[in-house]
């Protein structure tokens, strides 16, 4: 085992054993589930969105260490960031997982630890599950945008 694999394993194991942002938010803006039938992984995300900002995010789930560690890392990455920033990071993460480039020689970011999973193609879906679930959640949120309130419309009670 190389030092990189060792480090990757350590980071993934740490997130798996001590998941960040683990649990369910009490009053989330949105909750959404993702499922990876290939491995049986499940992720349930709850997010609070204020002014296009992910002010809080939490997950519960079960499944393999890769999927759960990836969920922990994902929540840590996007918490406190804007929805469009979250979308951008989902996009770059998924494209890096999909390409055939070898994992980076140095771990510049913690997330790079997940790149090692590419050596096991069956597990890539595990690593991606939390990210695709987040993308769906953002989409759901966007569609739920309430229409702007028309101040000129009076409630019946206010009518003369
Ligand atoms: Zn899995």
Ligand 1 (single-atom ion) residues, CB below 5 Å: 39, 41, 63-64, 67, 126
In tens, the pLDDT along 86-112 reads 999 999 999 999 887 887 777 788 899
Interstrand relation of 41-50 and 30-36 (parallel, antiparallel or unpaired): antiparallel
Structure tokens at 84: 């469009």
Q: How far is the CA of 63 from the centre of ligand 1 (A)?
A: 6
pLDDT 10s digits, 9-21? 899 999 999 999 9
Cβ(135)–Cβ(85) below 8 Å: no
Sign of the C-alpha dihedral, residues 45, 104, 116, 108? negative
What separation in Å is there between the alpha carbon of 149 and the centre of ligand 1? 44
Domains for the chain: give ranges and CATH numbers. 3-142 (3.90.1010.10)
Other residues' Cβ atoms within 10 Å of the Cβ of residue 27 = 7
pLDDT of 36 above 90: yes
Per the listing, tokens 């990876």 go with 36
């Amino acid at each position: 085992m190389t030092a990189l694999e060792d480090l990757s394993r350590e980071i993934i194991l740490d997130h798996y054993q001590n998941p960040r942002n683990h649990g369910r938010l009490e009053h989330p803006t949105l909750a959404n589930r993702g499922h990876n039938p290939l491995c049986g992984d499940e992720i349930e995300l709850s997010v609070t969105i204020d002014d296009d900002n992910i002010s809080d995010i939490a997950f519960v789930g079960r499944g393999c260490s890769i999927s759960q560690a990836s969920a922990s890392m994902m929540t840590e990455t996007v918490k406190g960031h804007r929805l469009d920033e979250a979308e951008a990071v989902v996009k770059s993460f998924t494209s890096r997982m999909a390409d055939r480039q070898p994992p980076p020689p140095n771990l510049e970011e913690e997330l790079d630890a997940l790149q090692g999973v590419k050596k096991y193609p069956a597990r890539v879906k595990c690593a991606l599950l939390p990210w695709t679930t987040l993308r769906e959640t953002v989409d759901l949120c966007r569609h739920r945008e309430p229409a702007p309130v028309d101040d000129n419309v009076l409630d019946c009670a206010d009518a003369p």
